[in-house]
Amino acid sequence: MSRILLTGATGFIGSAVLRLAVAGGHEVAALVRPGGEVPAGAARLTGSMADPPWEAVEAFAPDTLIHCAWIATPGIYLESPENEDHARWSLALAQGLARRGLRRLVVLGTCIEYRLPGADHLHETESPLGPGTPYARAKDQLRRRLEELSTRHPGLRLAWGRVFYPYGEGEHPARLCSSLIRTLRRGEEVVLKTPDSTKDYIHIDDLAAAILRVSEMGFDGPVNLGTGAGVTIRAIAEAISDRLGRRDRIRIQEPPAADPFPRVVADVGRLRGLGWEPKVALESGLLRLIETRAS
């Protein structure tokens, strides 16, 4: 079992990782701001990315950092200047931990680090990178700096997880699936501007399990965190509208708008090679989300 320092523990992805890691018997300390809550079974380290509580961190003595903290507010995060802050804070945290004997870094990147549009299935080493937004560029810059850090600390392994499109219970209400549910429940019309955009949607439980598997196996290098299956925006909207009896409220924009990311689907050979398999089918995951967003 690992001694895991977890950032972003109150966020959508981090909270799912926290629950699963505690249930799996790992010792977990969550770095949270004052007032932030953590579930039973996890230690709470009060502080921030900008000002880590180093004395408490040293007392906990983590061997692994799972780094989920980053700005992720829909409609804001892609262009936010805060991305540069997060990259700087993340590097400083990793450097401080490396000096204190950390053995493993598991850090979340993004699928839009790849040059898009790209291959039908994006591969970690064969698909070229070409981050086109401040968010993706900050992530890519952090990856390169952490790779340099790991070469200076031979005992430190770095796993860089490129997250595709997570969805599920606990997601921000402005994310695609929850936004569709809310709008259709109100009986309002949904206009699909890019209906044939194809993305790799992964349920939050499967994503948390993938992140933990990467950590537990001591994986070193970039790894895609997706399912390997693409689904169109149209298919998601129709699945949700059918469950709610609102198919008549779906309209397709003609002509469709251009999407800078028309197809973003992972090659998941590396992840499956670690023994991970998705457990939550898209239809089941959408139904669970519909049930949790009952109003």
Tell me, yes or no, whether 153 and 282 share the same domain: no
Rounded to whole angstroms, how far apart are CA atoms 118 and 130?
Answer: 10
Kindly state the tokens that stand for 116. Answer: 């898009």
Tell me, yes or no, whether 126 and 178 share the same domain: no
Tell me, yes or no, whether 104 and 241 share the same domain: no
- Compute how many other C-beta atoms are within 10 angstroms of the C-beta atom of residue 73: 11
Tell me, yes or no, whether 160 and 267 share the same domain: no
**Diameter over CA atoms, the chain:** 60
Tell me, yes or no, whether 44 and 183 share the same domain: no
- Compute how many other C-beta atoms are within 10 angstroms of the C-beta atom of residue 18: 26
Tell me, yes or no, whether 286 and 157 share the same domain: no
Tell me, yes or no, whether 8 and 106 share the same domain: yes
Tell me, yes or no, whether 19 and 31 share the same domain: yes
Tens-level pLDDT at each residue, the chain (295 residues): 899 999 999 999 999 999 999 999 999 999 999 988 888 899 999 999 999 999 999 999 999 999 999 999 999 999 999 999 999 999 999 999 999 999 999 999 999 999 999 999 999 999 999 999 999 999 999 999 999 999 999 999 999 999 999 999 999 999 999 999 999 999 999 999 999 999 999 999 999 999 999 999 999 999 999 999 999 999 999 999 999 999 999 999 999 999 999 999 999 999 999 999 999 999 999 999 999 976 5
Tell me, yes or no, whether 116 and 205 share the same domain: yes
3-state class (DSSP) for residue 3: strand
How many separate domains does the chain show? 2
Tell me, yes or no, whether 240 and 216 share the same domain: no
Kindly state the tokens that stand for 64. Answer: 């692994």
CATH number of residue 111's parent domain: 3.40.50.720
Q: What is the residue range of 192's domain?
A: 167-199+229-292
Q: Which contacts of 287-294 are long-range, i.e. CB under 8 A and separated by 24 or more positions?
A: 287/243, 288/168, 288/169, 289/167, 289/168, 289/169, 289/171, 289/177, 289/178, 289/181, 290/181, 290/240, 290/243, 290/244, 292/169, 293/173, 293/178, 293/181, 293/182, 293/185
What DSSP element (H or E) covers 234?
Answer: helix 233-244
CATH number of residue 175's parent domain: 3.90.25.10
Rounded to whole angstroms, how far apart are CA atoms 161 and 6?
Answer: 15
Closest by Cα among 179, 168, 188, 169 to 74: 179
Question: Strands 221-225 and 157-163: what pairing?
Answer: parallel
Question: Strands 231-232 and 198-199: what pairing?
Answer: antiparallel
Tell me, yes or no, whether 195 and 267 share the same domain: yes
Tell me, yes or no, whether 206 and 273 share the same domain: no
